[in-house]
Structure 1
Amino acid sequence: MITRTVLLPDLDTEILHVLSRLVELLRTYAAWEDNSEDNTSPLPTLLAGKVALRALRRIWTNVALTQGEYAVTTGHTSRMVSPDGHECLPLRAAVVRQDDLDVLSATAMALNDRGAGDMVAEGLQDCDLFTHGDLAADSARLAALLNLADTPDTELLQRLLSSKGPAADTVFTPSEYEAYLTTITRINRAWSHGRGLRLWLHDGSHTR
């Protein structure tokens, strides 16, 4: 089984909210599939057979360890501090199965495919009405975030995190901080479409 280490910003409940909505939608599809009268799935192949549901549940479990109160309860309380003393939005490492990431990407493609079928569209519409969101678009943002390609900067940060315990703070050197800024900028483009993640938690409100 091939796994991948993904650097994620701790956004409290924001990422988990999208994952939870996706899991709930896939549970709805699974129930409809189970109740199909002719024992054939009315869902496109990418969403049939509960494969996507199982994959998204595993992703949720692994990502939750890096986010908000879930991170705190598992001892992931490390802070990141810039060379001039600003506490930064922390990045945490999640280990995720590569095949689950592939399923997530395929699921996002299916949810954004207008030709995916009436059942897919109906489930999305019901979910979006209930949550006042756009789950198809959010699924694409999530897939982009979790599949962000590794670079020398992300590899440097991963080594830095792996050399410390989950509760050990990191005070960046100037070169490490540049790697952090570059990585946060890429994460921002994937997740927030450039609207700006808050970079500093204290002593300022800088966004990037």
Structure 2
Amino acid sequence: MDGLGPRAVLVPDLGDDLAVAVGALERLLLALRAAEEHGAVLPAPLAGGAALTALRRLWRAVAPTQGRQGPPPAGRLYAHGGRTELVPLRLVDVDPLDVATLSAAAAARGRGATGAGPVRRALEEVAGDPPGADLVVAAAGFSGLLDLADTGESIVLRERLAAAGPGVDVVLTPVQENAYRATVERLTAMWPARRPGPPPPQGGGRRSPAGS
């Protein structure tokens, strides 16, 4: 993270999993903010609402790529030969500082979950779907998706998608398809609860924007 501005990252469509997890994370951070306002002392990454602000900014950037959270993406991604449609990877600009803040907050939540302080109490308060322990894992997974180190494969794929531009169908070459599959494996390893499903059929599936 060089602090020079937004970083373009590749994000897979994980259906509604991220929306569910981010909603629960937001409830947790709101509970922690309320506890802080009533005198609780929070660890630095969770204090002052910084993690909540970072989460909301990151989700605004990522949400349109996920499940039913946004309008249908205009461009489609195809394997070599153009007959097999692939699960899309979308380019999203994120602030590395927000990602670092979210990652530090996830680590603080993990430590706090084993204690008897305000973090554990907040986790118990919002526990449900997902449960508290899974929520700690989801927080780390979300920041990990957005902070995955570049490889030769991910750079090849990112440059191909950036060159095509938004709204353009892309047919990958054999080399690019191999890069796609390697990159998807690395990304979905950060979110093992659910691997991306097949893309929706033409004219169906994820078509309508999420409600406000």
Please give the range of the TM-score, normalised by the shorter of the 2 chains. 0.7 to 0.9
Distance in 2, Cα, partners of 1:107 & 1:150:
23
Residue aligning to 1:105? 103
Shift of 1:7: 0.5
8 A Cα contact 1:13 1:68, kept in partner = yes
Residue 153 to residue 101, structure 1, CA distance change in 2 (3 Å): same
After TM superposition, which residue ranges in structure 1, 4 or more long, deviate above 3 angstroms? 114-117, 195-198, 200-203
Distance in 2, Cα, partners of 1:102 & 1:111:
14
The Cα RMSD (Å) is: 2.1
Residue aligning to 1:86? 84
Return the TM-score normalized by structure 2: 0.83
Shift of 1:145: 1.4
Name the structure, 1 or 2, with higher relative contact order (CA <8 Å, separation 6+). 2
Residue aligning to 1:173? 173
- Partner secondary structure for residue 12 of structure 1: coil
Residue 143 to residue 165, structure 1, CA distance change in 2 (3 Å): same
Distance in 1, Cα, partners of 2:18 & 2:195:
15
Q: Where does 1:191-206 land on structure 2 (aligned, <5 Å)?
A: 191-192=191-192, 196-198=195-197, 200-201=198-199
2:29 counterpart of 1:26: yes
- Partner secondary structure for residue 69 of structure 1: coil
Distance in 1, Cα, partners of 2:25 & 2:9:
19
Give the letter aligned to residue 106 of structure 2. A
Q: Where does 1:139-158 land on structure 2 (aligned, <5 Å)?
A: 139-158=139-158
Residue by residue, what CA displacement relative to the aligned partner does 1:104-150 show, whole Å, maximum 9, x if unpaired?
Answer: 1101101111456511001112222x324320111122122111111
Residue by residue, what CA displacement relative to the aligned partner does 1:38-59 show, whole Å, maximum 9, x if unpaired?
Answer: xxx4211110111111111111
- Partner secondary structure for residue 41 of structure 2: coil
- Counting matched residue pairs gives 194
Shift of 1:196: 4.5
2:9 counterpart of 1:6: yes
Distance in 2, Cα, partners of 1:97 & 1:136:
22
Give the letter aligned to residue 168 of structure 1. V
Give the letter aligned to residue 17 of structure 2. E
- Partner secondary structure for residue 148 of structure 1: coil
Distance in 2, Cα, partners of 1:116 & 1:3:
35
Residue 177 to residue 23, structure 1, CA distance change in 2 (3 Å): same
8 A Cα contact 2:114 2:120, kept in partner = no
Instruction: List runs of 5+ in structure 2 lacking aligned partners.
Output: 202-212
Give the letter aligned to residue 50 of structure 1. G
Instruction: List runs of 5+ in structure 1 lacking aligned partners.
Output: 204-208
